[in-house]
Amino acid sequence: MVLNITCIPGDGIGPEIVAQAKKVLDKVGEKYGHEMKYTDILMGGASIDACGEPLTDEAIETAKAADAVLMGSIGGNTSTSPWYKLPPEKRPEAGLLKIRKALNLFANLRPAYLYQELAAACPLKEEISKAGFDMLIMRELTGGLYFGERKTIEENGELKAVDTLTYSESEIRRIAIKGFEIARKRRKKVTSVDKANVLDSSRLWRKVVNEVALDYPDVTVEHMLVDNCAMQLVKDPAQFDVILTENMFGDILSDEASMVTGSIGMLSSASLNDSKFGLYEPSHGSAPDIAGQNIANPIATILSAAMMLRYSFDLDKEADAIEGAVRQVLKDGYRTIDIYSEGMNKVSCSEMGDLLCDRI
């Protein structure tokens, strides 16, 4: 099988971690008889420096022509980088919003899994962490406050800012269907998160989710207010399977979930459209303070590549091989600096990639 993959190395540690993901994918291709074809494009600060904008139309067309997109990270230090002296629509993150919209990537999947080998890094009490957890946050990605109409005006002698939160039935329905479909492949439970006691958009969200649930009688559905969900994530994370929610709530809750795992450097993510096409990236940022030092943790990007194999190419066996290699490397005591603890073997970014290849 030929896999046509557009890669976005991006900024900061992005090029380093994408290089390791390619290395692991090549090993998978070698073992299972697949050919990996990569085409790199610029996005974020790298694109601003080279092209004067965070994402060109030509780059978007290249991404559209691929089977999937694998991304490292974008952005820099918001205090010191000249990129953040530009207007908001010209900054690195604008490229990410642009590609999500252009590729119709409305469904964001962020797993949060606690490896028992890293349980000591979990900030929760041992009585909670020992139960383990394995959840997936399904976040709507192209609607809500982040894409609604916004403006800043002067009214009665003072500035007034307006952001609009808008959702249609069709937008909610398509993300709900994705959530229930994924739940069917997991533990068959969906927790739909909203603020239906206050917001009209959430009341519509809850109504549509209940309608979609009728088509999935084998999946249990529950509704939870977002503030309660935030509390439950630190009180009893083991209760969750698939958390289904809108854009802003998902942004916040997925970051919270990532931190209770102990290291955001371990967490993958996928953004999907209506087809098999997706953009796959680590949940962490560009970490410009450690860029170029070969100490970044590439595991989140490599696990994102595993998600790519699973969701865009239906290569479950190959995805399992990568995920199994990660578990084995951790069991064997190898750690990058961000997850290192006394008694473990500290390795570099590239060494971690080599170790994973050895275990494929």
**Shared domain check, 107 and 232:** no
**Shared domain check, 192 and 274:** no
**Shared domain check, 255 and 132:** yes
**Shared domain check, 102 and 142:** no
Residue 35 pLDDT > 80: yes
Residue 151 pLDDT > 80: yes
**Shared domain check, 162 and 82:** no
Average pLDDT rounded to a whole number, residues 121-142: 91
**Shared domain check, 274 and 240:** no
- What is the domain count for the chain? 2
Residue 264 pLDDT > 80: no
**Shared domain check, 324 and 208:** no
Average pLDDT over the chain, rounded to an integer: 95
Residue that is last in its domain, among 208, 225, 260: 260
Question: In degrees, to the nearest 5, what angle opens at C-alpha 255 toward C-alphas 253 and 257?
Answer: 70
DSSP-assigned letters across all residues of 202-256: HHHHHHHHHHHHTT-TTSEEEEEEHHHHHHHHHH-GGG-SEEEE-HHHHHHHHHH
Burial label for 120, CB within 10 Å (0-12, 13-18, 19+), is exposed
Q: Model-level pTM?
A: 0.88
Query: Can you tell me the distance from the alpha carbon of 357 to that of 273, in angstroms, rounded to the nearest whole number?
Result: 30
Residue 162 pLDDT > 80: yes
**Shared domain check, 320 and 245:** no
Q: What does the longest C-alpha to C-alpha distance in the chain come to?
A: 68
Q: Which residues are catalytic?
A: 146, 195, 227, 251, 255
Dihedral of the alpha carbons of 74, 258, 335, 96, in degrees to the nearest 10: -10
pLDDT above 90 coverage of the chain, percent: 86
Q: In which domain, by residue range, is 185 found? A: 123-260
**Shared domain check, 99 and 194:** no
Helix-strand-coil split of the chain, %, nearest 5: 45, 20, 30
pLDDT of residue 258: 85
Residue identified by tokens 């006394």 is 342
CATH classification at residue 230: 3.40.718.10
**Shared domain check, 237 and 138:** yes
Average pLDDT rounded to a whole number, residues 7-24: 98
pLDDT tens-digit series, residues 181-216: 999 989 999 999 999 999 999 999 999 999 999 999
